[in-house]
Amino acid sequence: MELDDGVFGLLVNESVVWYAINNELANKRLGTACTKGRGEIHGSNAKPYKQKGGGRARRGDKKSPLLRGGGTVFGPKPRDYSYSMPKKAKRLALKSILSLKAQSETLKIVEDFSVASGKTKDLVEILKNFSPEQRTVIILKDDDPLIKRAGRNIPRLSFLSYNRLQAHDLFYARQVVALEGAVKNLNAFYGPQGEAK
Protein backbone atom coordinates (compact mmCIF):
# COMPACT_ATOMS: atom_id res chain seq x y z
CA MET A 1 0.00 0.00 0.00
CA GLU A 2 1.13 3.53 -0.76
CA LEU A 3 0.62 5.90 2.14
CA ASP A 4 0.14 9.58 1.43
CA ASP A 5 2.94 11.52 3.14
CA GLY A 6 0.48 14.34 3.75
CA VAL A 7 -1.56 11.97 5.95
CA PHE A 8 0.84 9.36 7.32
CA GLY A 9 4.20 11.12 7.05
CA LEU A 10 3.71 14.41 8.87
CA LEU A 11 5.77 15.83 11.70
CA VAL A 12 3.60 15.19 14.77
CA ASN A 13 2.05 18.37 16.18
CA GLU A 14 1.74 17.46 19.87
CA SER A 15 -0.07 20.61 20.97
CA VAL A 16 -2.91 20.26 18.49
CA VAL A 17 -3.26 16.54 19.37
CA TRP A 18 -3.61 17.50 23.05
CA TYR A 19 -6.16 20.15 22.08
CA ALA A 20 -8.24 17.65 20.04
CA ILE A 21 -8.26 14.99 22.78
CA ASN A 22 -9.31 17.49 25.44
CA ASN A 23 -12.01 18.83 23.13
CA GLU A 24 -13.51 15.34 22.73
CA LEU A 25 -13.39 14.66 26.47
CA ALA A 26 -15.01 18.03 27.24
CA ASN A 27 -17.78 17.39 24.70
CA LYS A 28 -18.60 14.08 26.46
CA ARG A 29 -19.01 15.67 29.89
CA LEU A 30 -22.59 15.68 31.16
CA GLY A 31 -22.25 18.81 33.27
CA THR A 32 -25.12 17.75 35.58
CA ALA A 33 -23.39 18.40 38.93
CA CYS A 34 -25.51 20.69 41.08
CA THR A 35 -25.33 22.09 44.63
CA LYS A 36 -27.67 24.32 46.63
CA GLY A 37 -26.75 27.78 47.78
CA ARG A 38 -28.02 29.32 50.98
CA GLY A 39 -31.00 30.73 49.12
CA GLU A 40 -32.09 27.25 47.94
CA ILE A 41 -31.68 25.30 51.18
CA HIS A 42 -34.93 24.26 52.89
CA GLY A 43 -35.09 25.91 56.31
CA SER A 44 -36.33 28.81 58.35
CA ASN A 45 -35.50 32.41 57.55
CA ALA A 46 -35.91 33.38 61.18
CA LYS A 47 -32.97 34.75 63.11
CA PRO A 48 -31.92 31.87 65.44
CA TYR A 49 -31.08 34.15 68.36
CA LYS A 50 -30.80 37.83 69.07
CA GLN A 51 -28.04 39.92 67.54
CA LYS A 52 -26.36 41.17 70.69
CA GLY A 53 -25.72 40.09 74.23
CA GLY A 54 -25.30 36.36 73.75
CA GLY A 55 -21.55 36.39 73.25
CA ARG A 56 -21.90 34.36 70.06
CA ALA A 57 -21.27 35.13 66.39
CA ARG A 58 -23.99 37.01 64.51
CA ARG A 59 -26.40 34.65 62.68
CA GLY A 60 -28.95 35.78 60.15
CA ASP A 61 -30.41 32.29 59.64
CA LYS A 62 -29.53 28.59 59.94
CA LYS A 63 -28.75 28.25 56.22
CA SER A 64 -25.36 29.93 56.45
CA PRO A 65 -22.55 28.07 54.63
CA LEU A 66 -20.63 28.10 57.92
CA LEU A 67 -23.18 25.86 59.63
CA ARG A 68 -23.83 22.14 59.24
CA GLY A 69 -26.63 21.63 56.72
CA GLY A 70 -26.15 25.11 55.29
CA GLY A 71 -25.74 26.14 51.68
CA THR A 72 -22.64 25.63 49.52
CA VAL A 73 -20.49 28.58 48.51
CA PHE A 74 -19.62 28.74 44.81
CA GLY A 75 -20.65 25.10 44.24
CA PRO A 76 -21.09 23.59 40.76
CA LYS A 77 -24.23 24.25 38.74
CA PRO A 78 -25.43 22.46 35.59
CA ARG A 79 -23.47 23.76 32.61
CA ASP A 80 -22.43 22.83 29.09
CA TYR A 81 -18.71 21.99 28.88
CA SER A 82 -18.68 21.42 25.11
CA TYR A 83 -16.95 23.73 22.67
CA SER A 84 -16.11 23.59 18.99
CA MET A 85 -12.64 23.39 17.54
CA PRO A 86 -11.48 24.68 14.14
CA LYS A 87 -11.99 22.13 11.38
CA LYS A 88 -8.42 22.51 10.10
CA ALA A 89 -6.99 21.99 13.57
CA LYS A 90 -9.09 18.84 14.05
CA ARG A 91 -7.92 17.44 10.71
CA LEU A 92 -4.30 18.24 11.53
CA ALA A 93 -4.63 16.46 14.90
CA LEU A 94 -6.02 13.30 13.30
CA LYS A 95 -3.32 13.32 10.59
CA SER A 96 -0.67 13.81 13.28
CA ILE A 97 -1.96 10.79 15.20
CA LEU A 98 -2.06 8.65 12.03
CA SER A 99 1.51 9.74 11.27
CA LEU A 100 2.57 8.92 14.84
CA LYS A 101 1.10 5.43 14.59
CA ALA A 102 2.74 4.83 11.22
CA GLN A 103 6.14 6.05 12.44
CA SER A 104 5.98 4.00 15.66
CA GLU A 105 4.99 0.89 13.65
CA THR A 106 1.76 0.36 15.57
CA LEU A 107 -0.30 0.77 12.39
CA LYS A 108 -1.11 -2.44 10.53
CA ILE A 109 -2.79 -2.56 7.13
CA VAL A 110 -4.75 -5.72 6.32
CA GLU A 111 -6.88 -6.93 3.45
CA ASP A 112 -10.54 -5.97 3.56
CA PHE A 113 -12.58 -8.45 5.54
CA SER A 114 -16.07 -8.71 6.93
CA VAL A 115 -17.97 -10.96 9.30
CA ALA A 116 -21.01 -12.12 7.36
CA SER A 117 -22.39 -14.06 10.33
CA GLY A 118 -22.05 -11.12 12.71
CA LYS A 119 -20.78 -13.54 15.37
CA THR A 120 -18.08 -12.67 17.89
CA LYS A 121 -16.28 -16.03 17.64
CA ASP A 122 -15.76 -15.56 13.88
CA LEU A 123 -14.22 -12.13 14.42
CA VAL A 124 -11.98 -13.45 17.22
CA GLU A 125 -10.61 -16.08 14.82
CA ILE A 126 -9.69 -13.36 12.34
CA LEU A 127 -8.20 -10.98 14.90
CA LYS A 128 -5.90 -13.47 16.61
CA ASN A 129 -3.76 -13.61 13.46
CA PHE A 130 -2.69 -9.97 13.56
CA SER A 131 -3.96 -8.28 16.72
CA PRO A 132 -2.67 -9.25 20.19
CA GLU A 133 -4.89 -8.89 23.24
CA GLN A 134 -4.37 -5.19 23.82
CA ARG A 135 -6.25 -1.98 23.16
CA THR A 136 -7.00 -2.10 19.43
CA VAL A 137 -8.81 0.20 17.00
CA ILE A 138 -9.99 -1.07 13.63
CA ILE A 139 -10.50 1.57 10.94
CA LEU A 140 -13.30 0.57 8.55
CA LYS A 141 -13.81 1.67 4.96
CA ASP A 142 -17.55 2.15 5.56
CA ASP A 143 -20.15 1.72 8.27
CA ASP A 144 -20.34 -2.10 8.52
CA PRO A 145 -23.03 -3.04 11.09
CA LEU A 146 -22.21 -6.77 11.08
CA ILE A 147 -18.54 -6.40 12.00
CA LYS A 148 -19.46 -3.85 14.68
CA ARG A 149 -22.02 -6.26 16.13
CA ALA A 150 -19.44 -9.06 16.15
CA GLY A 151 -16.93 -6.90 18.04
CA ARG A 152 -19.32 -5.48 20.63
CA ASN A 153 -18.44 -8.08 23.27
CA ILE A 154 -14.68 -8.03 22.71
CA PRO A 155 -12.96 -5.98 25.43
CA ARG A 156 -10.40 -3.35 24.42
CA LEU A 157 -11.64 -3.35 20.80
CA SER A 158 -13.31 -0.42 19.05
CA PHE A 159 -14.26 0.45 15.48
CA LEU A 160 -13.94 3.79 13.69
CA SER A 161 -15.07 4.72 10.19
CA TYR A 162 -12.42 6.47 8.10
CA ASN A 163 -14.47 9.70 7.98
CA ARG A 164 -15.43 9.72 11.70
CA LEU A 165 -12.15 9.20 13.50
CA GLN A 166 -11.80 9.95 17.21
CA ALA A 167 -8.52 11.47 18.39
CA HIS A 168 -8.79 9.99 21.90
CA ASP A 169 -9.43 6.40 20.75
CA LEU A 170 -6.74 6.55 18.07
CA PHE A 171 -4.06 8.09 20.28
CA TYR A 172 -4.46 5.65 23.18
CA ALA A 173 -4.76 2.52 21.03
CA ARG A 174 -1.79 0.18 21.36
CA GLN A 175 -2.56 -1.24 17.92
CA VAL A 176 -4.33 0.40 14.97
CA VAL A 177 -5.56 -1.98 12.27
CA ALA A 178 -6.69 -0.33 9.03
CA LEU A 179 -8.42 -2.13 6.18
CA GLU A 180 -6.96 -1.59 2.69
CA GLY A 181 -10.12 0.16 1.55
CA ALA A 182 -10.03 2.39 4.61
CA VAL A 183 -6.42 3.45 3.86
CA LYS A 184 -7.38 4.41 0.29
CA ASN A 185 -10.29 6.42 1.66
CA LEU A 186 -8.04 8.06 4.27
CA ASN A 187 -5.56 9.08 1.56
CA ALA A 188 -8.39 10.71 -0.39
CA PHE A 189 -10.31 12.16 2.57
CA TYR A 190 -7.36 13.71 4.44
CA GLY A 191 -5.13 14.27 1.40
CA PRO A 192 -4.95 17.36 -0.84
CA GLN A 193 -8.24 16.53 -2.59
CA GLY A 194 -10.07 16.31 0.72
CA GLU A 195 -8.56 19.60 1.89
CA ALA A 196 -10.05 21.37 -1.12
CA LYS A 197 -13.60 20.26 -0.30
**What does pLDDT average to over the chain?**
91
At 196 the pLDDT is: 54
- Whole-prediction pTM value? 0.83
Picking from 142, 153, 23, the residue whose alpha carbon sits closest to that of residue 91 is 23
The pLDDT tens digits for 110-138 are 998 888 888 999 998 888 877 777 899 99
Domain ranges (residues) in the chain: 5-12+87-196
- 3-state SS string over 55-99? CCCCCCCCCCCCCCCCCCCCCCCCCCCCCCCCHHHHHHHHHHHHH
| CATH number listed for the domain at residues 5-12+87-196 | 3.40.1370.10
At 133 the pLDDT is: 78
The pLDDT tens digits for 40-57 are 999 888 999 999 999 999
At 197 the pLDDT is: 56
Under the banding of pLDDT at 50, 70 and 90, the label for residue 65 is very high
At 53 the pLDDT is: 93
Task: Average the pLDDT over 75-102 and give the result.
Answer: 95
Looking from the CA of 126 toward its CB, the CA atoms found within 13 Å total 21
**Please, which residues bridge with residue 161 across strands?**
140
Q: Return the H-helix or E-strand segment holding 186.
A: helix 180-190
Q: Which residues contact 185 (CB under 8 A, 6 or more apart)?
A: 141, 162, 163
At 143 the pLDDT is: 84
At 173 the pLDDT is: 93
Task: Average the pLDDT over 168-194 and give the result.
Answer: 89
